[in-house]
Amino acid sequence: MAITDLWNQPVSTDSPDAVRAYESAVLATLEYRSNANDHVKATLAADPDFALGHCFKGYQYLLLGTEGTVAKALQATEAAKAQHDRLNDRERGHVAALASWAEGDVAGAAALWQRIVRAYPHDLLALRLHHLNAFWRGRDDELTEGPAESLHAWTPDLPGYGSVLGMLAFGLEESGERRRAEDYARQAVQHAPDDLWALHAMAHVLEMDERFQEGCDLIPLNEPAWDDRNPFKNHVWWHRALYAVELGRDAEVLQLYDAHLAPGARPFYLDVQNAASLLTRLQFLGIDVGDRWQALVAPVQALADDFNGPFTEPHKVLALAAAGELDAAERLADDVLTRMKRAGRRDPALAQVLDGLCRAIVAYYRSDGEDALELLSPIRGEFWRLGGSWAQRDLFEQLTIEAALQANPSIDGRALLARREILRPRSRLVQRARGD
């Protein structure tokens, strides 16, 4: 009799221990537990030939967002491929998706995960990976597709049900359906209070609605229950810091930065995004951040030769430029397309946006607002190609406004500020420009 997992899906292993460890790895990943990789190791220790275990191992390497782990992901791919003849259709889909992703074909991997989810709506791993990679490709439509198409098969008693609701909530929010997103986010948080992605979906609703005090009430300044979570917890605190920025609680923002957001010597790519993005927002408001930019240089330089994804790269350039390391920032900007191609990402439209934005950042920090604005203007509507959320990409909108104010405040600057005042009337950037 074939062994099945918690979600009644057949798996190609004779080891119940391997299946239990695999289930734990899936659930730990959904909850951003720092021990998820331990469960993956336990999976393969129980059955070294378990293909899904090797796929999970490869996925974990690629989720780190560094070129240095791609070779290990390819090794995991080969180990999974070696079991091809004993695998079922769902498992073969995972092997193919891992191979595509490791080779840089993220869209191809996403299509394979989507196929798995449609045929096997209880495959949480495929669902989550499809969702995350839609996010990092800026595909708001795909963010909603997976959870919306599979929710019909889920009941509240199934492990992971709250995570499916949380993914649906986030997809709806990024698609502009904030009222429906809030409904699903509240259901998700109530059903699975430990699910940081569900909490994160609610955080996005409140940010885009400019309900900043509600956001502060939602996310605590500190949470001991998150001690066993991976660095994604710091991104949730980044959202708390954004609320505090807009409420004018500058001391609280810096407290959050120092406690949760300042990257260590070997940073995770999301740490660089969080740190550079928050410090830039403060800088645009004229807030003194002390020596925090300078402290960010070494962690960013540690990633300088790597390609950490199209959304992270501008943040690396930004961190160096804002710290006064303009030559290093320019070298990073000049080299970004070479590193992108080396990572297997061949998308001309994305390359144009990434190149233009990185060059514009350097121009702005060289006080050449005219050049920066000229570079930013044709790509403003294409920032989505970099991935990330509307809340995260708002940084690039703010940069465009600042470049316009630097280049031509009475015409371009005034026009862009007027637009922002309509779209985000409580924006502190607008209030500062008005002298409020």
- pLDDT of the residue at 19: 98
Place of tokens 């408001």: 285
Asked if residues 366 and 406 have their Cβ atoms less than 8 Å apart, the reply is: no
Give the mean pLDDT of the chain: 96
Q: Is the pLDDT of residue 242 over 60?
A: yes
HSE, side-chain direction, 13 A CA sphere, residue 20: 4
pLDDT tens per residue, range 100-112: 999 999 999 999 9
pLDDT tens per residue, range 343-352: 888 899 999 9
- pLDDT of the residue at 436: 65
pTM above 0.85, yes or no: yes
Q: Is the pLDDT of residue 277 over 90?
A: yes
- pLDDT of the residue at 175: 97
Structure tokens at 187: 């259901």
First-to-last C-alpha distance (Å) of the chain:
71
pLDDT tens per residue, range 132-158: 999 999 999 999 999 999 999 999 999
Structure tokens at 237: 């605190």
Structure tokens at 297: 């240089």
* pLDDT interval class at 269 (50, 70, 90): very high
| Element housing 143 (H / E) | helix 140-150
* pLDDT interval class at 271 (50, 70, 90): very high
Other Cβ atoms within 10 Å of 77 Cβ, number: 23
What average pLDDT does this structure show over 224-234? Answer: 95
Other Cβ atoms within 10 Å of 183 Cβ, number: 16
